[in-house]
Structures are given as C-alpha cells and as structure tokens.
Structure 1
Amino acid sequence: MTAGTLLAVRDLRVLIGGRHILHGVDLDVARHGVTALLGRNGAGKTTTVRGVLGLVPRTGSVRLDGAETVALPTHAVVRLGIGYAPEDRGVFASLTVAENLRLAERPGADGPAYGLVHELFPELKRRERQLAGTLSGGQQQMVAIGRTLLNGNRLIIADEPTKGLAPKVVTEVAQVLERAAEAVPVLLVEQNLAVVRRLARHCAVLADGRTAHQGPAADLLGDAETARRLLGVGHGPATAAPSREADS
C-alpha cells in the first residue's frame, strides 16, 4: 500500500451460491480525487463494491488507510469511514430532503456536517421541505451523495450514479460528484466514459471478475485500442462531459 493509496484491495474473491463471481480483484483507490472502476456489464464491478463493504461473503484483503477490514461486518466497515451511494440512489421518495438526510446521521464527536453538505449542495437547503420523490434524478443524486458527506467519511463509493439518466441530468450528476470529490475521495463505478474522462484521475478495469488494468484514467481513455479491448468501445481523445464552467 503506497502513501498515495487510501483503499487497497488485494486478491478479493467472492463466492455466491456456489458460483465464483470475483476471482482475485486488486484495486487501489487514491487519497484524493476520483478513482473510476470500469468494465463491461457483468465484469464484477458492483460485486467488488459490495465485497469492499462486506455486503457479500468475501476473502482476500481490504485495507482502509492500512487497517484490515475484510473480517468486519458491514456496519463496522461503514463506521470506519466509508459512505455508499447505491446504484438506485436509495432515496426515500415519501420523505422530505431534510428527513432523508436526518436518517443518515451517525453519532459522532463533531455531529453531522450539514454545513459541508449545504456548502457543496445549496439546493438541498433550499429544497429541504420538498418530498425526495419529486426531485429530478440529479437532485436525488445530491441527496444520495449528501448523505455520505454528513458523517465525516474518508471515502465515498458511488455505484453507477448516471445510469438511465438523460444527458442533461448526467451533466448535473457529474457536477455533484465533482464538488463532492473536492471534500472526500470517491470510488466511482461508471459506464459513461465522458463522465470518467472529466472526473477520474485513476482507474481500474475489471474483466471476468479479475483486474485487467490499473493506471491513469487519461492514459486508458486516450488509447483507443486498449479501451476497445478492455471496455468494448473505441474511445480515443474526445470531448468530455461539459465542465462546470461551461454549464454556467
């Protein structure tokens, strides 16, 4: 584990119902910025995230800032400082924005960091009495990410945050993640390579439950042949998702 690595996963294996899903995943998540976890459908990305969190039976090594977590239950892993924004966002539609955030509070010496959440996402303050089910997809993602920032987490895991969203909303969600990553490092599971190009400094690619590649995201996405081989797409240099400045 290098000085620049916050989360180090080694030889992570997952067996579910007698079927091997992960066959030895290695993954390094940087202490700053966004690290992207990539791969084709069925490569094992979500299972890797669930393995890191202890949501599925796992073996191997998962170290957060040097501390081994692989034997810990999920609630203990979360208390060490990992926040999770799941693929479906997990927003309670019939509750207000404020109530959704309140449910995520954990006991702590400094209390929940509402100041940080509202500084990054002032719209959540303005909409605190609005039912979460009436929010746009991008606004719901603000709630999902905001919940992970309340408790002084050291790492945010965001699983497919732009899946199924319209292009305009994808840009909105990318802005949400960009702002969040200024405060807390992010492990981003994502299929939209324009979003990855815009946000990620580092990346890892899974194939058939194994790590097929790790390195700078720009190097992978700038190499059309390697991107095609690993991801099934030809992505040389191209226009990334619009920057925050371009949207304003």
Structure 2
Amino acid sequence: MSTEPLLAVRGLAVVIGGRHILHGVDLDVAPSGVTALLGRNGAGKTTTVRGVLGLVPRTGSVRFLGEETVRLATHALVRRGVGYAPEDRGIFAALTVAENLRLAERPGAGGPAYGLVHELFPELKARAKQLAGTLSGGQQQMVAIGRTLLNGNRLIIADEPTKGLAPKVVTEVARVLERAAQAVPVLLVEQNLAMVRRLAEHCVVLADGRTAHRGPAADLLADPEATRRLLGVGRRADAVSEENPMAPQDTGTAATSAADSGKAGA
C-alpha cells in the first residue's frame, strides 16, 4: 500500500474580508483510515476544510492524488473524488432516504455504488421510503456519509459529525464512520476526543490558523500536557474506558465546537 499522502496541503492561506484566517496550514491525509483535524474553537478547522474544497479564496498548495488542485473550482475537485459531509449534514428533511441518495448521484463508470452503501449501512435500504427528517441524528449521518460513498470517491471529509448529538447517538455515528473508513479514507474534523481515540490513526492540530502539531493520534492523546496545551482539555478529557469507549468528556469539548463554523476563524 502506498505511504504517500492522499491529500497533501502546504502553506494554505485564507483571507476573508481583509482578515487573515489561515496563515499557512500544512496537513497530510493518510491513504487509508482516519486522519483527525483538531484544534480549539476558532483555530481554523472548518476554514481549512473549506479552503481545501475551494469554497473560500485560498493560496498555497493542495495536492490530491498527486495533482495540484488549488486552482480548481469546487465542482472539479469533487469530480476527482472528494466527498464532503458538512457539519449540518445537508439532509433534505422533506425527501425520503432514497431521494436524498438519488440527488447525490453523479455520472460515471459503473454507476452509483448502492451495493457498497447498503452493505455498509443496511438500515438505509430498509428505510428507503422514510422521510429523512424523521430519522435519528445517527441515521441522518448515515445518509450524509452514504451520499459521499455513492460515487467512487477517494476521500471523505466529515466536518463535526457529532456536533450537538446526545452521547448515545455519538456512539452510533462513530460506528457509521468506522464502517465508512474501511472503504474510503476519512479526514475527520472533530472535538470529541473519545471519537478521535476510537477512530483516528493520525492527527493534525491547528492553533491560530497555523499547524501546531502533526503525528499519531494515540501519541497526542497519551500526553496530558500536550493535550492540555494544544486542545485546552484537562487530564481526564482523553480517558476513555474500555466498557464505554464513547464516554462523555469531562471538560465540555463538544461545546467548544458550537461556534467553530459560525466564526470567520472557524
């Protein structure tokens, strides 16, 4: 298996309304598994994702599958195999599960991969005629992730998938992402360190619009001082019991994400 990054970002800078939001972000997404993008509120996580996708003006280098894409429009990057599950999930509540999936279909060789989606998430097939707005938060996240898997994407970007969800639903979403990552590499923007511990092999930490740390996720979470310094959480924040691997954090890490995407520095 290749060890070259699937996505390699260097010197990513974003200026919005004359304000420098990102000052030069570097990050690599591994060619398999989950890479977590972490940071305190306002560190630049969501802006980094938007910069990678071309949703905001940016400079620097964004290489995907070895090709420079920083000058590509968002739709051109998506066609090259990047799937995006936004933090609000983007579900059409008044449409059925099947209709939500159908809207995500793109023309391509072999057609949409419903077999893969239904293999990973059989519940979506069983609930095909159910209105998406009546699904649980975890089931809606299945729809959001399922849409990214339909078109043979090579990378999934999942932005704050557990934001605002109850602990029981967070566990459900963790299982969703765990299954998805078996098929497609995932760049996961997340505040719940229990989720990161469970899913991520690699992590990138942002601070003030710059890359502050890169390395194995387990190493960071095993270092209480580094976790406190980089993420502002206490010594027990990354302690996850074997009995309850998605136990709530003791420092309100989920709350710190609430304003992340709503601020210019998110």
TM-score band by shorter chain is over 0.9
1:6 aligned onto 2:6: yes
Aligned residue in 1 for 2:240: 239
Identical-residue share of aligned pairs (%):
83
Alignment correspondent of 1:199? 199
Q: Could you tell me how far apart the structure 1 residues matched to 2:235 and 2:33 are?
A: 22
Q: What's the counterpart of residue 98 of structure 1?
A: 98
Provide, for residues 195-233 of structure 1, a one-character-per-residue CA deviation record: whole Å limited to 9, x for no partner.
000000000000000000000000000000000000001
Equivalent in the alignment of 1:230: 230
Structure 2 gaps, min length 5:
247-266
**Aligned partners of 1:240, 1:209: CA distance in 2, in Å?**
33
Q: Say which SS state the counterpart of residue 174 (structure 2) adopts.
A: helix
Helix, strand or coil at the partner of 1:112: coil
- Per-residue CA deviations over 1:138-189 (Å, capped at 9, x if unaligned) read 0000000000000000000000000000000000000000000000000000
CA distance in 2, matches of 1:38, 1:235: 17
In terms of fraction of residues, the more strand-rich structure is: 1
Deviation at 1:240, TM superposition (A): 5.5
Q: Give SS of 2:38's match.
A: strand
Give the aligned partner of residue 40 of structure 1: 40
**Aligned-pair Cα RMSD in Å:** 1.4
Unaligned runs of 5+ in 1: none
Distance in 1, Cα, partners of 2:10 & 2:18: 21
Which residue number in structure 1 is paired with residue 52 of structure 2? 52
1:239 Cα shift?
1.6
Matching residue's letter, 1:87 = E
Q: How far does residue 4 in structure 1 lie from its aligned partner after superposition?
A: 3.3
Determine the structure 2 residue equivalent to 1:120: 120
Aligned residues: 243
Q: Which residue is 1:79 aligned to?
A: 79
Alpha-carbon separation, structure 1, partners of 2:48 and 2:191: 15
CA contact (8 A) 1:51 1:58 kept: yes
- For residues 229 and 14 of structure 2, what CA distance do their matches in structure 1 show? 25
1:65 corresponds to = 65
| TM-score, normalising length: structure 2 | 0.89
Matching of residue 24 in structure 1 with residue 24 in structure 2: yes
